[in-house]
Amino acid sequence: MCGIVGYVGPREAQPILLEGLRRLEYRGYDSAGAAIAQDGVLHVRKTVGKLARLAESLQADPLRGHTGIGHTRWATHGSPTETNAHPHQDTNGHISVVHNGIIENYVFLRAELQAEGAVFRSETDTEVLPHLLRRYYTGDLLAAVRQALEQIEGSYAFAALAAEHPEQIVFARKGSPLVLGLGQQENFLASDTNALLPFTRRVIYLEDGHHGLLTADTCQIYDAGGTPVAAAPSEVQQSAAAAEKDGHAHFMLKEIHQQPEVLRHLLLSYAPEHGLAQTHTAGTSIQFPGLGVLEQRLTEIHRIVIVACGTAWHAGLVAKYLLEPWARLPVSVELASEFRYAEPCLDARTLVIAVSQSGETADTLEAVRIARKFLAPVLGVVNVPASSIARAADGLIYLHAGPEIGVASTKAYTAQVTALTLLALHLAQRRGTLPQELMAERLEALRQVPGQMQEILQWSPKLDALAGLPAYKNASHAMFLGRGCNYPSALEGALKLKEISYIHAEGYAAGEMKHGPIALVTEELPVFCIAVQGSVYAKTLSNIQEIRARNGRVLALATEGDTQIAASCHDVFYLPPCPEPFSPLLAALPLQLLAYYIALELGRDVDQPRNLAKSVTVE
């Protein structure tokens, strides 16, 4: 949700800011801008639309100078116009600010500042920041920032530049991520490490309340009370290439194709092959080194609450279908955005699991903070190391999926489901609720999933062809149905389709169809039905018949060897046979690919769909 970058050093700032913004564009892409200080003047350029427009403008007429800040925006306050784009300036253009987050008391501050003579140009909350800094500025921008921080409420990561001090960038963070990058006689800042990788791997993750000042040779950090912080830099391991498309047309396609590898890596990390034999004996095959103190508390817990948003919430829903029968624990799966405003019943024996790819989703992070207030142990299932949720949780399961850049979550989803599946087995093992033989069988079947995913990916051309059929690509609405652990698959399939193709789609538990949604069925409505072999197969088949009886068009995901289903459906895509609990992992791929190819047919911007941003760091 908005990306910010900053550079101070001997090099020209413009190309560094542009490369950093390119790597942050997944966070927001409705406008972009940069401010660069030179000769006592702040030169600002802003454009509406994708970063490419800013790059074109800067190429045609470059901004020169060695200190600069940049921004890529996901609009919250004020529509995506050039005036609303960041950086924002104070009245006389001597102070410039880029910001990620929301200044909640901006209406009050704006009125106050306007009464003092400040001239506001935009409709944004952010613009109060440069005016506030101007109010307190007497030649020391850091001191002005400290005073401004006392006035503002909300969440922020911001960077500011003053024309008088082209050798400095000041910054502050609360509630939105900010990372400093340390170079040789040059320093950087950014919303995440992706933006820093081409330039440096030595980074400092700032904590809430941290603020400070960067010059080419120095990096001063202070905590909320103004005490200097001696933060030790960490070394980022991720390769810069991990955030590139590697020859794929889109990040989403690359990430879909990475899934077998991601799952293999997860299994290798938490359930190494040699563990299979141990399962029969010592029962120690699944290990999560990141659980830390939580490991000891696992046997005490009497309930699990999973909090997450969007696709991560769907992964949590799948997990409920495994955790309850295997570990014999009641599980509730909560939308973090609702949970945070409810009055949750939590205690020290309720394990709260926060699932999040980015580890920065504002609602999920707040749910974690609430859980901690109730002294509930918190387990983070996250993909981004050192993210806010990773740092706030008591224990961690990392997804090791590598950067997910496509806005539509794909590999993170199957990694989340796999990690939670392993957790379910681990808990069952610790609690003695699943026979060892069954556990070994399950693990063995889970290890087959990456290979089966690879088989499915080989059938991509078939899905591409299906996506090209007018019945699917020209539909205005679509329905996704599934039962049991594939009810969340239906929700996820619908979410993928709507977010990247803009076709209205809804997922339902197939058994609920006759309670209302069946009224929507006509020959115009494609129904994507997950009908794999398992405990609810026969019931799902009946639901398909009910749709067919009303002229609905059905595309089923079925299991290879199913000789019945083709007669009842217009189209069938077959998945390799696997135990029912793992079928959501396989079903996810054709659903992702169908959404991808339909979106391509419709000429949509697959990686950067309209109105969305990858990381939702505002409420």
Catalytic residue among 2, 219, 309, 529: 2
Among residues 543 and 615, whose Cβ is nearest to ligand M6R?
A: 615
Instruction: Note whether 177 binds ligand M6R by CB under 6 A.
Output: no
The binder of ligand M6R chosen from 252, 312, 541, 588 (CB under 6 A): 312
In the complex, minimum distance from the CB of residue 384 to ligand M6R, in angstroms, rounded to a whole number: 8
| DSSP label at residue 433 | -
Residue closer to ligand M6R, measured from CB, 108 or 341: 341
Only one of the segments 1-9, 11-19, 94-102, 307-315 lies at the binding site for ligand M6R (rule: CB under 6 A); that segment is 307-315
- DSSP element (H, E) containing 396: strand 395-398
CA distance 514 to 385: 44
Contact 103, 109 (CB under 8 A): yes
Closest residue by beta carbon to ligand M6R: 310
Residue list 493-552, contact with ligand M6R (CB under 6 A)? 495, 499
**Cβ distance to ligand M6R smaller for residue 67 or 592:** 592
Geometric angle at alpha carbon 442, from 437 and 447, rounded to 5°: 125
* Region of 158-166, 291-299, 355-363, 577-585 interacting with ligand M6R (CB under 6 A): 355-363
Phi, psi of 483 (to 5 degrees): -125, 160
Contact positions with ligand M6R (CB under 6 A) in 35-74: none
Selected catalytic residue, list 174, 320, 473, 614 = 614
Q: Is 356 a residue that touches ligand M6R (CB under 6 A)?
A: yes
Q: Which tokens belong to 23?
A: 């790597």
The closest of 547, 540, 471 to 503, measured between CA atoms, is 471
Residue 183 vs 406, nearer CB to ligand M6R: 406
- By CB neighbour count within 10 A (0-12 exposed, 13-18 middle, 19+ buried), where does 59 fall? exposed
By beta-carbon proximity to ligand M6R, the closer residue of 387 and 543 is 387
Is residue 411 part of the annotated active site? The answer reads no
Q: Is 309 a known active-site residue?
A: no
Let me know: does 190 contact 179? Beta carbons within 8 Å. Answer: yes
Query: Which residues on neighbouring strands pair with residue 37, listed in sequence order?
Result: 42, 67
- In DSSP terms, 505 is beta-bridged to 478
Binding mask 231-260 for ligand M6R (x = CB under 6 A): ------------------------------
67-73 and 95-103 as β-strands: parallel, antiparallel, unpaired? unpaired
- Shortest Cβ 492–ligand M6R spacing (Å): 8
- Binding-site size for ligand M6R (CB under 6 A) equals 16
Q: Cβ(466)–Cβ(555) under 8 Å?
A: yes
Check residue 595 for interaction with ligand M6R (CB under 6 A): no
Of 186 and 363, CB closest to ligand M6R:
363
SS (H, E, C) 48-68: ECCHHHHHHHHHHCCCCCCEE
| Residue 256, CA distances (Å) to 456, 596, 613 in order | 11, 10, 19
- Which of 168, 409, 489, 617 lies at the binding interface for ligand M6R (CB under 6 A)? 409
DSSP β-ladder status, 234-235 and 202-205 = antiparallel
Q: What are phi and psi of 166, to 5 degrees?
A: -70, -5
The DSSP code sequence of 141-186 is: HHHHHHHHHHH--EEEEEEEEETT-TT-EEEEEEBS--EEEE-SS-
Please identify which residue in 89, 124, 358, 414 interacts with ligand M6R, judged by CB under 6 A.
358
Residue 311 binds ligand M6R (CB under 6 A): yes
Confirm or reject binding of residue 337 to ligand M6R (CB under 6 A). no
Chain-centre distance of CA 495, in angstroms? 14
The reply on whether position 408 binds ligand M6R by CB under 6 A is yes
Looking at 100-108, 139-147, 342-350, 403-411, which segment touches ligand M6R (CB under 6 A)? 403-411
Q: Rule CB under 6 A: is residue 317 a binding residue for ligand M6R?
A: no
Q: Does 357 bind ligand M6R (CB under 6 A)?
A: yes
Query: What are the catalytic residues?
Result: 2, 614
Q: Which residues bind ligand M6R (CB under 6 A)?
A: 309-312, 356-358, 361, 364, 407-409, 495, 499, 615-616
